[in-house]
Structure 1
């Protein structure tokens, strides 16, 4: 099995207590602490893209070793922290296997030539970082036609200056992943509408705090908004799972 950069995700330090290969469901549990948004479909997609190669039992079930889990964690970390396309990640891991020392771009904020942090002089809050159209297409690994289609349905919305919030990369990747299962942009309009309603609820809670003169109170508003958004996403996921259990 391929060597993998160390530093596993959360409890992903071992595939199992006795070192035996584990199922894809166990892999999901091991990765979930650091990557709460990862799904079984995502793991299968990464396998299909050649990023991980689990063994198969005679009956066809996937079995992942500790090295497989660590490799998956490395792939997910490079996507999250460096906004790298899968092709670049694969080339980087292949280079490491050959013993080459290939540096990655610095994590956290994207570079200034790709992202512009715009400060609104009318407020003390900087606006979200932006990326250009070409950078969005490269990071999401989609073509111009797909992006234009998503924009026509309001799934991704550019700013007046033509730039995009950095979250657009995540949205684009998820829309692309859903598309591989046959879900078209028109099917996702309800998801978009639900997200806007949830954002409206969060705004109702934090709006009084954002109007406060105290900078600490305004900072608390931003932290509260992030926490409410996280809870809302978790609730949405739980409700979808519950609804599926009833129907399946």
Structure 2
């Protein structure tokens, strides 16, 4: 092949593409408006708002394209990146800094991540169960937790569980009942669990004190920040409590 032919062949080849940000293999053609993105995400994150997306953009977790008029446009890859961030916040209570470090690693190809299927969520943000959703009656709660209905009554009497005015319970009460039942197998009954509830409420009060100044601000970004900080603090409190219990149990065990 002559030199000129080689030059022509090289000119015909597309230039090597720059390393894509994660996720790879998904369209990066930005044609989605913010309303389209919210519609795509709200099946799994019903509480997400445009202010939340702007807040994540401010923290460099997402970079939408700006049109000449200044409007934001997103690609399907951007939506999956947002979905990852929101899942890490919801499911693992990770701080934004840690999520950002994870995304940097994914961008660099240091670690891989398989996109999970979307999980349906109720209007209050609680993940739906395959059969039915919403608040639970005492009978339904006992059935789903596979415990005698008497245990529900004992937990309510002890103040461990607090039903709503209509007598129904939030879906997360199921986990509390199941844990209470497991502790009961070791002789730890409902009255012993009041201290757990009291300790948790003191921690929630502390979180509320920290978040109150943010929640009192009028900007949508500040309110979104308040929710993020509350989730992070809640997870840190839970981890600290776990660390104290594990350390104490280590001293008890032979």
TM-score, normalised to structure 1's length?
Answer: 0.48
Higher relative contact order (CA 8 A, sep 6+): 2
Larger radius of gyration: 2
